[in-house]
Copies of this chain bind each other. A is one copy, B any other.
Amino acid sequence: MEAAQAVGSVPILEAMGIRVVEARPGFAAADLPPEPNVNHFGVTYAGSLFSVAEMLGGVLSLVTFDFDPASGGELAGFVPIVKESTIRFRRPALGVVRASASLSDDEIARVRRDALATGKGEFVLEATLTDEQGEVVASTVGTYQVRRFG
């Protein structure tokens, strides 16, 4: 699956208007528009902020690890899943919010090794959410696994 398809495959992410703006091995970023995510205080709803950050773990995994059996991917049959996530809200979010997250080459190599050796590679991904002025509105720390599926 392509990273851009990751949003389209989850209807509620598409309903939020989330758009992947960059996705390459070890890095992913996505934008969240205000509408329809604005709450009754006129700022972006907490659950939408959580979602645009959380989904980066899936997007980043899809472009970093090769899950595709058709291409003989070494992690064919594995899927990324989220185990736990913490979000801290720093300030009210107005306008388009960008979430971004990165994973180092060393971490990527370790996750791949662990996944192949044990069927499960776990990693922690920190995402930062900024407004159009570059101010941090929220941050997340998520624990993900790439796991052998089924």
Contacts and interface: CB of A to CB of B under 8 A. Distances in A.
Interface residues of A, number: 34
Contacts of A9: 39-40
Given A82-B89, A87-B85, A11 B40 contact: no
Contacts of A36: 11-12, 15
Contacts of A45: 10, 12-13, 51
- Copies of the chain in the assembly: 2
Given A11-B35, A82-B46, A1 B40 contact: yes
A104 to B, nearest CB: 24
Interface of A: 1, 6, 9-13, 15-16, 35-41, 45-48, 50-51, 54-55, 79, 81-89
